Amino acid sequence: MIKAAHLVKKFGSSTAVNSISFDVKEGENLILLGTSGCGKTTTLRMVNRLTEPDSGTIFLNGTDIRSQQPETLRRGIGYVLQNHGLFPHYTVAENIAIVPRLLKWESSKTGKRADELFEKLNLDPAIKDKYPAALSGGQQQRVGLARSLMVNPPVLLMDEPFGALDNLTRISIRKEFRVLDELVKKTIIMVTHDVQEAFEMGDRICLMDKGEIMQIGTPEDLLFRPANNFVANFLDEQRLQLELKSVLLEEILPGSAKNISVWDQMESLLQVNAYPDDAPGDALTIESLMAAFSKYKKR
Amino acid sequence: MDQTQTFWQFVNQQSDKLWNQTWAHIGLTMISLILAIIIAVPVGILIARKQKLSGIVLGFAGVLQTIPSIALLGVMIPFLGIGPKPAILALFLYALLPVIRNTYTGIMEVNPAVVDAAKGMGMSKWQILTKVELPLAFPVLMAGIRTATVINVGVATLAAYIAAGGLGEFIFGGIALNNSNMILAGAIPAALLAIILDFLLSLVQKINLKSIRVSWLILPFVFISMSSFYLLPTQIGGRMLGGFTPEFMGREDGYLGLKSVYRLGIETVVISDAVMYKAAFEHKLDVISGYSTDGRLKAYDLITLKDDKGIFPPYYAAPVIRNEVLTKYPELEAVLNQLSGSINDSIMTALNYKVDQLKQSPEQVAMDFMVSKQLYKPSKKGTKGTVRIGSKIFGEQYILAQMYKILILGNTDLTVLTKTGLGGTKICFDALTNNQIDFYPEYTGTGFLVLLKPDKKTIKQLEGNTDGVYQYVSQAFNKQFNIKWLKPIGFNNSYALMMRKEQAQSLRIESITDLTNHLKHK
């Protein structure tokens, strides 16, 4: 769906992005991960031409994005920012109607779509006439997302979408967004510096450093088959947690419940163990789970 | 003029003039403001886009702001003449800085994330400007416009100096004529105007604008409809135009006398004497009111018209000094009187010419003169006390003040502080009565008509009687103000009507009667 080839971008004498290439398949979540200054945001902004590359090309559905007017291109691509970027002088309803208005939608259609998204995103319809400053951080972020989803663009670009939220809100919104049907179908490129977030949200992760791609692959690729020392070191600090989260229960114990990560299983076991009387006799224990996991790793 | 007239009586009596001046004032302020907005807002937007230009542009607008208003007005006369045009241009220049700066600041303060989001959603540059940046910058922008408005209402009073009308006519006329009612009749409406306009604009500022377009339509409409009341005060056609000082306009031995005695019918504008002579020279005015000893007469090739009906009686120039000062330093009287009798009309004109036209400093001219008359003695560098000399704001008074300084320093143990350039008769005289200065040179006619304001009968009685007027003011000042008129210096200073020599000769106008007849038959 999206194909980037040999992108280069220099700001003055420093090279922000140095000849990178990647593909994003339809419906896939690609995470651009890295520390600040690694070029991930610059890469993202080249996709909707907020930044023009010095050389290299990006194809969207096989056509060069430069063959379109940048404004037309951007209206077809959702864009979510860290600081939500809501217009402070527009009410919530007006904010989410910006792109539909640019595309000359009828107001009844806009209203219907807004109602639909409000419900899906757990937003109280009463806030529609409020100004962004009157909303909580979580609400602002949801409205920001609603705004980018209004015209149902096939591609969504997210730049640190949870960056401005406090820890608790961030984790809960992340969980919600992950299962949101509107997002599941979309082709998403998301920028983050948070490793946990990348592993939770990403189908594939593109780890960047100093303008270059260190490795691009699934979470498990990065964890268990690091391309180089940088990748291994980058993940080391949170390695155990990441591994437990990215390995599925059925992978280490064939025949067990599907789509549950080892981490989730451990969480539920620990909760059960707080009340030992309720524990079923033949159930999995933490000890046996850990044993299976280390066996899987040694394989 | 009735001495006991109240403020309301004055306003009632002069209501026509007051309305005209107020509308002229609004017109000057608004037209210049609209022009400033039309230019400054796009410039502000431009420098917000091209940061490199911002320093230069803001610096340049800042420099404009620091040019003294009267100087700016004076500089423009050769190019734009007198009247509303140079006044509007000057006000326009003053309004630029606040509007440019606030437009720039307002746009720079818009959260970059919001602009980024707007761009990312596919808004065009124009849409971002009109729907995001300008609406968000609007409160700051309006604050700039409000600042500019208040500045312009204030500066527009100075437009009276170059015949552009406005409430300055009353304000400066009142200062010149020692008429508090007249000052207030100009100052109060000007202050109210500033407050009201600022308030109206504050309402506009509070409007929450989704898009700047609506306001773009409303604002100029409001301004222009207000400005349309402004009928430009000068319709300079084929007839002659007279430019008179605010003081001359209100004096019996001035314009009032011209009207009542000569029945002179001439279109007039009010103008400052600082620019009047030049304006006549530049053919912007045909007839002006000047002083008979003014050096610029010679410099600008003007001639005085013969006062054949004698409405401009000659008046002595003499120092007026507070009696308290004379009690404290009795030696002062004899010292100041040394100058008496040494300057006649032609000497004074020549001295004025040196300052006004040859651009010599008043200090130098005074020193040269004192040396040549053997009145100069080296300073005794005394420490007994300080005498404060005042002067009005024209060359002759500067020269006289310097002469007195030389006399006091050389002949007494006193030191001298000069407070020159006091704006007019009223300011100078108030400074004297309020113990801010100790003495200044005054003219008996001014003391008689402007400061004492005697009744019509007394005026009639003493008309043309130079010595009689001197006696009258000496007694009255002593009694009313505890101020003494010292011996007259020797020269007379009176008003005179002046024209360009070539014009007067080609029209064969030699006297004011000739002028009246010429205007009647045209």
Indicate whether B172 pLDDT > 90. no
Nearest residue, CB atoms, B121 vs list A74, A84, A89: A74
| Cβ contact A87–B132 (<8 Å) | yes
Specify the CATH number for B7-227; select among 3.40.50.10540, 2.60.40.2300, 1.10.3720.10, 1.10.287.3510.
Answer: 1.10.3720.10
- Name the residue with higher pLDDT: B465 or B485: B485
> In chain A, whose CA is at the least distance from the CA of B208?
A89
Instruction: Give the pLDDT of residue B268.
Output: 83
Q: Please give, rounded to a whole number of angstroms, the shortest distance from the CA of A258 to a CA of chain B.
A: 39
The rounded distance, in Å, linking the Cα atoms of B167 and B174 is 11
Q: Quick one: B371 exposed, middle or buried, by C-beta within 10 A (0-12, 13-18, 19+)?
A: exposed
Give the confidence band of B416 by pLDDT, cuts at 50, 70, 90.
very high
Q: Which amino acid is at B95?
A: A
- Name the residue with higher pLDDT: B328 or A245: B328
| Cβ contact B117–A74 (<8 Å) | no
Give the confidence band of B230 by pLDDT, cuts at 50, 70, 90.
low
Q: Which is it for the CA torsion A208, A211, A212, A217, positive or negative?
A: positive
CB B149 within 8 A of CB B204: no
Using a CB–CB cutoff of 8 Å, tell me whether B209 touches chain A: yes
Instruction: Give the pLDDT of residue B233.
Output: 47
Q: Quick one: B520 exposed, middle or buried, by C-beta within 10 A (0-12, 13-18, 19+)?
A: exposed
Residue intervals in chain A for CATH 3.40.50.300: 2-237
Residue intervals in chain B for CATH 1.10.3720.10: 7-227
- By C-alpha distance, which of B235, B38, B237, B246 is closest to B159? B246
**Could you tell me the mean pLDDT of each successive run of 10 residues in chain A, 299 residues long?**
91 89 92 90 92 92 90 91 87 93 92 91 90 90 90 92 82 82 88 89 91 91 89 86 82 78 82 58 73 81
Residues 170-199 of A with CB under 8 A from B: none
Using a CB–CB cutoff of 8 Å, tell me whether A94 touches chain B: yes
- C-alpha separations of A49 from A63, A75, A195 in Å: 14, 12, 26
**Chain A / chain B CB contacts < 8 angstroms:** 63
> B317-493, superfamily in CATH?
Dipeptide-binding Protein; Domain 3 (3.10.105.10)
Domain A2-237 in CATH 3.10.310.30:
no
- pTM recorded for the entire structure: 0.74
Instruction: Give the pLDDT of residue B312.
Output: 83
Chain A residues close to B120, C-beta within 8 Å: 48, 50, 74, 79, 81, 85, 157
The rounded distance, in Å, linking the Cα atoms of B514 and B441 is 34
Chain A residues close to B208, C-beta within 8 Å: 89
Q: Please give, rounded to a whole number of angstroms, the shortest distance from the CA of A130 to a CA of chain B.
A: 14
Give the confidence band of B234 by pLDDT, cuts at 50, 70, 90.
very low
Indicate whether B211 pLDDT > 60. no
* ipTM here: 0.84
Indicate whether B440 pLDDT > 90. yes
Residue bearing tokens 């409409």: B221
Indicate whether B215 pLDDT > 90. no
CB B483 within 8 A of CB B319: no
Instruction: Give the pLDDT of residue B237.
Output: 47
Copy the structure tokens of residue B478.
């002593």
Give the confidence band of B219 by pLDDT, cuts at 50, 70, 90.
low
| Cβ contact A83–B120 (<8 Å) | no
Interface probe, candidates B109, B114, B210, chain A, greatest A C-beta count within 10 A: B114
The rounded distance, in Å, linking the Cα atoms of B358 and B295 is 10
Give the confidence band of B266 by pLDDT, cuts at 50, 70, 90.
confident
CB A299 within 8 A of CB A225: no
The rounded distance, in Å, linking the Cα atoms of B53 and B47 is 6
Indicate whether B414 pLDDT > 70. yes
Instruction: Give the pLDDT of residue A22.
Output: 93
Nearest residue, CB atoms, A50 vs list B120, B127, B208: B120
Instruction: Give the pLDDT of residue B238.
Output: 52
Residue bearing tokens 């404060």: B388
Using a CB–CB cutoff of 8 Å, tell me whether A93 touches chain B: no
Instruction: Specify the DSSP class assigned to residue B262.
Output: I
The rounded distance, in Å, linking the Cα atoms of B174 and B375 is 38
The rounded distance, in Å, linking the Cα atoms of A235 and A250 is 24
Domain B241-312+497-520 in CATH 3.40.190.120:
yes
Helix, strand, coil fractions of chain B, as percent rounded to 5: 65, 10, 25
Chain A residues close to B114, C-beta within 8 Å: 85-88
Using a CB–CB cutoff of 8 Å, tell me whether A99 touches chain B: yes
